Structure 1
């Protein structure tokens, strides 16, 4: 006898598993914001920018049923916006002269 799928047996757990890519991105963003809060703004903004690029890569390679709330619009629009914002944030963080 086959077992029913996870979303039938444990819908809450299945929902959490579906949101793991978003959770991973949010953890990296939180680490970057902690760096900013402790005075390392250049490193922190770089980490946040790379988290956005990572979110774009997750959006490219994961299927829609696995990407969770990282899928907001169509795939090309999500990827262009997330990668563009991440690259722009990283470039700005690296090009602003330090003190």
Structure 2
């Protein structure tokens, strides 16, 4: 979120989308007693609710052509 607030919204969007994909991976990989706050609904619904916005954020950040995506 810091990257977005520093007006590097494309990088921030990719990072936020990546964080959602990591959350989905952790939700699938961790046993039910260790998922903590990642478990809100059923496992399948949680993963869908993490993957869909994550992919959408990444695709939007990559396909909008104005601005740079580099980390410099």
TM-score in terms of structure 1 length:
0.65
Alpha-carbon shift at residue 95 of structure 1 (Å)? 0.7
- Structure 2: runs of 5+ lacking an equivalent: 68-72
**Where has structure 1 moved over 6 Å in runs of 4 or more?**
none
Distance 1:81 1:44 in 2: 19
Counterpart check, 1:57 vs 2:17: no
Q: Select which of 12, 16, 39 maps to 1:48.
A: 16
How many residues are treated as equivalent by the alignment?
Answer: 67
Unaligned runs of 5+ in 1: 1-32
Instruction: Please say which structure displays the higher CA radius of gyration.
Output: 1
Select the structure with the greater relative contact order (CA < 8 A; seq sep ≥ 6).
Answer: 2
Q: How many angstroms does 1:69 deviate by?
A: 0.9
In 2, the alpha carbon distance for the partners of 1:54 and 1:85 equals 12
Write the deviation string for residues 72-94 of structure 1: whole angstroms up to 9, x where unpaired.
Answer: 00000100110111011110111
TM-score, normalised via structure 2 length? 0.88
- Give how far 1:64 is off: 1.1
